[in-house]
Amino acid sequence: MTKSLISYKSIHDLQLEHLTEPEFKSVPKEIQPFIENILNLIKRLHISLENEKNFSAYAAHELRSPLTAIKTNVQLGKMIAIQQQYDDNLLECLNDAENSIIRYQNLLEQLLVLSQTEHQIEQNIQQVSLKQSLELVLSDLRLTYPEIDHQLIIHWESLGKIFIAPDAIQIVLRNLLENSLKHSQTVKKIEISQTENILTIRDFGVGLNPQELTLATKRFWRKSATGQGYGLGLSLCHILLQQYHYQMIIQSDQNQGLSVSIDFSKDNKTD
């Protein structure tokens, strides 16, 4: 083997070509069965992870077209309702339906990004402008949050470039901004800035208490059970950034707002 078993830092570092039958010349015969069992277990784990990713990718891909068709029909219904001057309640229902479809479409896109293999991730990495990525995200968010520009304090001159997939950083930025907009009930301002290799998005809402802070990146956890979304925002950002070996740091003082920082520094990468 070109790598010793203990040199792997995670299951993602293991590829099937590394898991072929090793040469046990320097391994005592007594522990050879033990090593073989470990390698077989890792093979099964690897296959299981690949199958899970493939399922997510296939499911998300297959649902794209039906959702697009439904969205088109809902938008057509809205046009007819406006032209025919139907009851406002009908138009409100159609608006709600369209917003729900958009949320599901965003969720599917996130699943597709999360289901990428290590090879696909490496292929998609490029130098990305944070300024351009943020501008694209804001153009989408303005449709749902028309007043967003009045809430943002953006230090545009501080925003630099990072190495990541364009889709990934846009998903991270969108989720972090939506998290501030949705869950910081009394939020008035959201500040975005970069210092060296650390990008920070800070709001001035209600924040999180210490217990909530430990749960913030758990899947499906939401501060309020009646809140919007699926409880995937911060968890999704955390997982996505881990794929690129970047670190997300969450800080909060209750009633003082929430600060989420992303450390893009090379020193933070796991080699």
pTM of the model: 0.62
Distance CA 144, CA 129 (A): 24
Inter-CA distances, 127 with 70, 112, 169, 194, Å: 36, 21, 11, 16
What average pLDDT score do residues 83-108 get? 81
CATH class of the domain at 125-268: alpha beta
Per-residue pLDDT reduced to its tens digit, 128-184: 999 999 999 999 888 888 888 989 999 999 999 999 999 889 989 998 998 888 765
Residue 247 binned pLDDT confidence (cut-offs 50, 70, 90): very high
Query: Where exactly are the structural domains of the chain?
Result: 1-115, 125-268
Q: Which range, of 17-31, 34-48, 189-203, averages the lowest pLDDT?
A: 17-31
* Beta-sheet strands, E only, within the chain: 126-129, 152-154, 161-164, 190-195, 198-203, 247-252, 258-263
What average pLDDT score do residues 193-205 get? 91
